Structure 1
Amino acid sequence: MDHRSLKFLTFNVRSLVDRSRQIELKNTLLHNNIDIAFIQECHLRSNMRVKISGYTFVYDNSPTGVAIFIKDSIQFKRVSVPATGINTTLIEISSNNSTKKYLLGSVYIPCSYPVQRLDLDLNTLLQLSSNFDGFIFGWDLNSKRPTWGDSYENSNGRVLRSWLSDNSMDVIRICDTSPSYPSGTSYLDHFLLSNHLINSRNPNYTISTKPTFSDHFPIKLDLKLDHLNTDLTPPQFFISYKNTNWHNFRQDIDLISRQIMPSINRNLTNDEIDTTLNGFKSHFSNIHEIHSEKFKIEDRSLPYSDKIKKILQIKHQWQRNLKKIFHRSGNRTSREYSILSNQIQLLKIIIKELVKIETAQIFNDRLQKIK
């Protein structure tokens, strides 16, 4: 890659047949200084090409049509698409020193995609990505899940929930807090990335929703890549002390303390202090592992209660009403818009607190079952 940071866009344009829509897309790319754009549902004939100055157009020639626009200044290679029913366009780009290669893809999953095949095709793409040092995909998943903000879960959403859970160490999903499909207040458009491209300790990305000429909003991802030589994000665990014998734990600590403490009664050098502290830290870590149980969190998705689901439905209805107010008035400064907007923000706070309470209760129940 030629930059320490890149600006990505994923956008279901619905059609690029009309010249006017091509001009609108050009304005979107240039106005937001997009480096690489993942475009879905172009619906172009196989011999049609879209020309935007400063960008190379990569197209899959399918009836639905998925494409990638990449700046001319960024070198890339076309990657052969594996045999799946998912509409996909893939390219490869390299890091500054050409030692790392990344897979980029524009992907579209139809609404009526066979459930049995979806999981298989997702695994095929993930297997292909294992040949690279990381991947970044822009998707229209046509998938709905309450935990993403949707009011219900569809078949695509159920498959993706399970798939993302099974591959949580490898894949992370990024989406904005606003619906990407406003007509149905649904979150259909997402970025899927290699987990290690995201720095969880010091967030290295921003996500934002941009104005649209389609019935989907374009989603912009600003991603900084200068942390990639740091450690990968560690797995998540929770620790149980249910079967810990605290008397034995204390005895082991006392024994180790006597063994590693200097026996000579004198002032210690800095090196001796460091050696003692490092030794105590190492031994304490070993004792901690002996007297506790560590459990990997395999499924990080937690079920919502009926109460939270009902509140989410209310929030979605209010968001639809807010959009109607905006379309009717044409601005966001009216008293009616401000009042409802504030109510939605308060409802989000309530939902967040309820989720915290329920999550704590779920983990408490899980710990009680551990023997």
Structure 2
Amino acid sequence: MAGLEIAFFGSSLVSAYWNGAATYYRGIIRALAARGHRVTFFEPDAYDRQKHRDIPDPDWAGVVVYPATESGVSWALEKARGADIVVKASGVGVFDDELAAGVLGIRRPDGLAVYWDVDAPATLAQLDANPAEPLRALIPKFDFVLTYGGGPPVIKAFRALGAQACVPIYNALDPDTHHPVPFQPKFFADLTFLGNRLPDREARVERFFLDAAARLPDKRFLLGGNGWHDKPMPANVKALGHVYTADHNALNCSAMAVLNISRESMAAMGYSPATRVFEAAGAGACLITDDWVGIPTFLEPGREVLVARDGAEVAEQLAALTPERAHAVGQAAMRRVLAHHTYEQRAVLVEALLSGMDVTHLRLTEGV
């Protein structure tokens, strides 16, 4: 098919600082570019992200940084006018409602407008709590709602809001970015968790990570991410602060095991694997995850991932883990994600949807 011109409004492509969706954006957009599509990513100069860039402007996407002001939003929308596809991602962080309405306003008569939700459970909870939210009236006007997780419950909820179509485009692996690297002593740990301190994550980090650390005082635990510097924690936990994406592989490859902890809303909805799941698996790390509905869709419990329901079970899994067992689980996970969960495969689905092709033969497309 001929390459599409795509204008994409999101939080940031070049900075992962307070921006957990960055690696998801990069994986999807880079894979679309490899298939001949031209993406321009529009991001606001907000939250000091431009001061904490992880990457320079890439050669596989244009990047337009606009002032985080009403006039800046209007300028960016005009610059995006004329694209074949216009995308508004959730969680841009400034002027989200204005951007959603604006993207619909610049859609060409023969073009498409897409709402791409990178935190669907939280969006749905917000819409449910406040019927007057402007986004509620806009959802039916988009040609597609795409989400980076949520499965059947999210599809059902968006369809109930009037979405014309809702399709999960799940997180995945970019094997050129996340892959095995040599062990680095500074990142050695028995268990590592990486995630920013957020309101609907903190209690679960206490329950799954800090509780496990308290139960295993002879083990070393690393905690990466923004916001944890003043959090009380056991003496065997070291807080690293923000970990730049260039260090993610070494972080994943230098621990006996890596822990995934879903945010409360995502765990409740299910079918919402975080980017970290695929990044860790792609590096061959042994992954322990909190329990949520839909895990077998992505990794086989007990063989490709270890599952725990609370900190006590995390501690049990870790105490029983040997280097040989950890290696076997990590290698099995890496084989699975390389075979079935790469951004190249996700891009095939996105391309098919946007070009009006039949997608019923593709994986992970329930609910179209």
TM-score under structure 2 length normalisation: 0.31
Instruction: Mark the structure with the bigger radius of gyration.
Output: 1
Higher relative contact order (CA 8 A, sep 6+): 2
Normalising to structure 1: TM-score of the pair?
0.31
